[in-house]
Chains A and B, each alone.
Chain A
Amino acid sequence: MSSTELASGPADRDPIELKLEGLAPVRGPQIEGTHSSPIPLKVEAVAMAAAMAAIALITGANVVTRYLTNISLAFTEEFSVALMVIATLLGTSFALARGHHIAIGYFVERFHLRGRVIAEIVGLALVVVGFGITAAYGAWLTWDEYRFDVLSPGMELPQWWLTGCLPLLSLLVIVRGVERMVARSRLIRS
């Protein structure tokens, strides 16, 4: 598990790698490392897959009921939107752990390995700061909605259930960011 293979770029033809490659010229400095964490990445993967499947099924059910019955499932839109927000944050955390976010790596790639690792650590620190701000103010917003009993417009559920996901999942993103920073700093020390 502690093997530190240093590859300067992915040479495999994993389809997802290729698509991501295409999303941005180069996604940050590409340095392969090992990922070890008390929270397995599978948590994000499974939850994200479930959310995506649920959105598709809800939307599909909506169409079927609209054409076959008089029942309107329009209120489910709210549910799909909530699932999309959740899936987005889960996916952000998943992609962060795998170093898949869109970034312009063109200039950093010109550095030596040490420079690239340092650039990535600085980038991760900024990710942690960014999501730290989101988490803090998200928590504040959740507290406000809890205090004032804000109800969601469609299903009239407590709005803070959903808003609460924002700080909670932002914390997960922060955890992934810190984990990767630690793994990277080990790389330069060794």
Chain B
Amino acid sequence: MTATVLFVTFVAMLLGAVPIAVALGLAGTIAIIMAVETPLAVATNVYTCIAKYPLIAIPMFVLVGSVFDRTGVALRLVRFATALVGAGRGALATVSVLVAMVIGGISGSGPATSAAVGQVVTGSMLKDGYPPSFIASTVAAAAATDILIPPSIAFIIYALLVPSVSVPAIFAAGMFPGILAGLAIIVPILVISWLKDFGGKARNSEGLSVWRTFKEAFWGLLAPVVILGGMRFGAFTPTEAAVMAVFYGLFIGFFIYGTLSLRDVYEMLVESGELSAIILIVVALASVFAWATNTLGIVQPIANAIVGLGLGEYGTLALLMIALIIIGMFLDGVSTFLILVPILLPVAKTYGWDLVWFGVILTMKVAIGQFTPPLAVNLMVSCKIASTSMESTIPWVFWMIIAMFMALAMVVVFPGIALWLPHVLGY
């Protein structure tokens, strides 16, 4: 009974456009009051749940994204990559994917990468003869690799929810699946570009020299090395690695590229403060919801019901895949994880799945949901930049979804793609 009230009020509020954080908090509070627990727990929960040191990594990685967004690293990476691969059919589209992957190694959220890459490549792709709907599809799909390639805010949240998984371990585990996903979406992009003759139309190529563009892009390429290398050698915790990247980005922006002013610094602090608050308040209030589901003992019955369907290991995975992609179309990755991971963990334990691998699989599903119309978060951003409708992207984005599905299937069948790197690094 209480469980029904909990879910019905939650879903009703969600559909009525009540902020997700408040919908989670209020539904949880109502359930707690109905179960005659003291609501004092609400306040304590809200406080203790975000007052955790590992969570500081979130505002700091958001700040890293803001800093690098303004330094102009993305633009220089595009120039370097263009100098490398030239300007043939599908070349610039491939460049966008590669650049999105490198930016993914700096920033931690898909939509942010979508915005960063989209703003840089859309103009030149239009000139080079790509239709806007294809550009939007490419950028959205490429940016989806971002939540797999470390650092990733989705992974930090997953590690928070699953105590036995450490942030560095799941960061390492996301690396190869992320690269695989990126390479997978390049395949349909190239095939479509060849068949439809997209790209290679821009007449006056600037004649970019590989060496000159490399010298400029070098500083940007070094950023993921600073972040991941620092964590790898145990020099920094994830939070410290983020802060080092912030200072590194400021150094590049002020002294190398000269693209930043003090005004920018203030603006990026406000921007990242607001963005991280929007994420963290969901984390805080979701704890009330999770606490309610836990004390009411709803989680285990749901998990038992899923296992009780008797679909077997792969059948259950397929079911979760479909459910997560549908949910991923409506919700951002952070909220999806906060609501679903507590329910799915007992399922994973029943089948004895490796929890690091399971986190990567879940994140890949969320990533696919991020560019699956009609409610894809990344596609929303890239369509807005390319001034096109989401419906028009369907014929292109369909193939990219299939490609990323193939990558996901490979990680499901060969868990080593995810687990080899954390194993070798000794996490």
- By a beta-carbon cutoff of 8 Å, the part of chain A in contact with chain B is 13, 15-16, 18-26, 28-29, 45, 48-49, 51-53, 55-56, 59-60, 62-63, 77, 80-82, 84-85, 87-92, 94-96, 98, 100-108, 119-120, 122-123, 126-127, 129-130, 133-134, 137-138, 140-141, 163, 166
Q: Is B240 in contact with A21, judged by CB distance below 8 angstroms?
A: no
Contact A15 B69 (CB under 8 A): yes
Q: B47, B56, B271, B278 — which one has the most chain A CB atoms within 10 A of its CB?
A: B278
B residues in contact with A104, CB < 8 Å: 14-15, 17, 20, 330-331
Whether A90 lies near B273 (C-beta < 8 A) is yes
By a CB distance below 8 angstroms, the chain A residues around B246 are: 56
Given A22-B115, A92-B281, A104-B330, does the pair A166, B17 have CB atoms closer than 8 Å?
A: no
Q: Which residue from A51, A102, A127, A133 sits with its C-beta under 8 Å from B278? A: A102
Specify which chain A residues have a CB less than 8 angstroms from the CB of B20 in the assembled complex.
24, 101-104
Give the residues in chain A near B46, CB-CB below 8 Å. 134, 138, 166
Q: Is the CB of A141 within 8 A of B240?
A: no
Q: Separation in Å of the A167 CB from the closest CB of chain B?
A: 8
Are B56 and A84 in contact, CB atoms less than 8 angstroms apart?
yes
8 intermolecular pairs with C-beta atoms under 8 Å apart: A18-B384, A52-B63, A91-B280, A92-B277, A102-B21, A123-B22, A127-B22, A133-B29
Residues of A contacting B236 with CB < 8 Å?
63
| Dominant SS among interface residues on chain B | helix
> Is the CB–CB distance between A123 and B17 below 8 Å?
yes
B43 and A137 form a contact (CB under 8 A): yes
Q: Are A85 and B51 in contact (CB under 8 A)?
A: yes
Cα–Cα, bound, A16→B69 (Å): 11
B17 pairs with A87, CB closer than 8 A: no
A117 and B330 CA atoms in complex are apart in Å by 22
In-complex Cβ contact of A21 among B21, B25, B282, B381 (8 A): B381
Within the complex, which residue of A19, A22, A81 is in contact with B52, where a contact is CB–CB below 8 Å?
A81
Asked if A21 meets B244 with Cβ closer than 8 Å, knowing A16-B271, A85-B51, A100-B278, the reply is no
Q: Bin the interface of chain B by size.
A: 35 or more
Restricting to B275-328, which residues have a CB under 8 Å from any CB of A? 275-282, 284-285
B42 within 8 A of A: yes
Interchain CB contact (< 8 A) of B43 among A62, A91, A119, A134? A134
The one of B14, B19, B266, B275 that contacts A127, using a Cβ cutoff of 8 Å: B19
Tell whether A63 pairs with B18 under 8 Å between CB atoms, given A88-B280, A133-B42. no
Asked if A123 contacts B377 (CB within 8 A), the reply is no
Q: Does B272 make an interface contact (CB < 8 A)?
A: yes
A139 to B20, CA, bound (A): 24
Residues on the A chain within 8 Å of B19, using CB: 28, 96, 101-103, 123, 127
Interface residues of B in 41-92 (CB under 8 A from A): 42-44, 46-47, 50-53, 55-56, 59-60, 63, 69
Contact of A100 among B15, B274, B332, B380 (CB under 8 A): B274
Q: Does B335 contact A (CB under 8 A)?
A: yes
The distance in angstroms between the C-alpha atoms of A87 and B16, with both chains bound, is 28
